[in-house]
Chains A and B, each alone.
Chain A
Amino acid sequence: MKFGVVVFPGTWSDRDCGWVIDQVLGQDLVYLWHKDTDLKGCDCVILPGGFAYGDYLRTGAIARFAPVMEQVGEFADRGGLVWGICNGFQVLCEAGLLPGALIRNASLEFRCEWTHLLVERTDLPFTSSCAERDVLRVPIAHGEGSYFADPATLSRLEQRGQVVLRYSDANGRVIPSANPNGSLHNIAGIVNARGNVLGMMPHPERCSEAELGGTDGLKLFRSVAESGLKVLVS
């Protein structure tokens, strides 16, 4: 499995993602510069966290025009795996690869803390290593992670099972007090209708080794790595 990690000016989680991919999981890794116009044969493209292009105007608004994003869009259209984490999720929404938008946290604070995530889909390449109704402990670090979509879009997402991760308590109960940012329906991560583009605000790359206080994030990276194996075998 070859992972490509996109680096925009202002991206800050690229090396953390890269470390998990090549040092922890032993998978192939290539960094993709925002000016690159080919994806160098990647099987999964990660848009990591940070402040791409300073997040000027709106989070992700300028990054979506980067040369590499045209390739990412075509790759997604062909069914390639695209995974946006934090700022990457914001970029995917701005680029129209995922519906909705991420707005200022209801608290107006930058929230940097551990959250619990209820996994609602395990049939996806991103979550296949998770147990049914698994609860993951994963940190967030964002000021603009409040998921918003208009009522029609929101009900479509729910009906089609596109909500993959929801903020919950440690027991997997989706309750208002477990919602760190005011996201509608406690949404922490969604997938496109086809199931090959995932966006999530929490940072799995920051909890993939015991030294960092948790390893639940590794389940998602391992899922993607093993989905590659399944394709090779089948």
Chain B
Amino acid sequence: MIARVLVTPKPVVNDPQGLTVKQGLASLGFREVTDVRIGKYIEINLEGTTEHEARQRVEEMCRQLLANHVIEDFRFEIEREHSRR
């Protein structure tokens, strides 16, 4: 089982990295860009759990460590690993 976790700055939190990248894109001619927010991507391998259990465990991981609820939101997907030899 693989959990793919996305942690993003809350909309109310200033994201100077995103602003800077937005300006960079604009200077390259990507004028259609209206906003850029930069967060984190975390990949977690789990074993010995059902998808339902994994979902609950990853939710807890996000709450306890992976995201800081003051400044960040999180979301994730759980995927079954492709069969391996």
A interface, CB within 8 angstroms of B:
57-58, 61, 65, 93-94, 99-101, 103-108, 146, 148-150, 182
Contact = CB atoms under 8 A, between A and B. Distances in A.
A interface: dominant SS: loop
Interface in B57-81: 65-66, 68, 70-71
Given A94-B68, A101-B71, A148-B70, 14 more contacts: A57-B65, A57-B66, A58-B68, A100-B70, A103-B13, A103-B14, A103-B71, A104-B17, A108-B17, A146-B14, A148-B13, A148-B71, A182-B14, A182-B16
A149 B68 CA distance: 12
A20 B16 CA distance: 36
A93 B70 CA distance: 10
Nearest to B42: A57
Contacts of A105: 16
B16 A104 contact: yes
B70 A107 contact: no
A154 to B, nearest CB: 11
B68 A61 contact: yes
A230 B85 CA distance: 71
A220 B65 CA distance: 33
B33 interface: no
A149 B17 contact: no
B14 A150 contact: no
Interface in B1-55: 9, 12-14, 16-17, 20
A106 B17 CA distance: 9
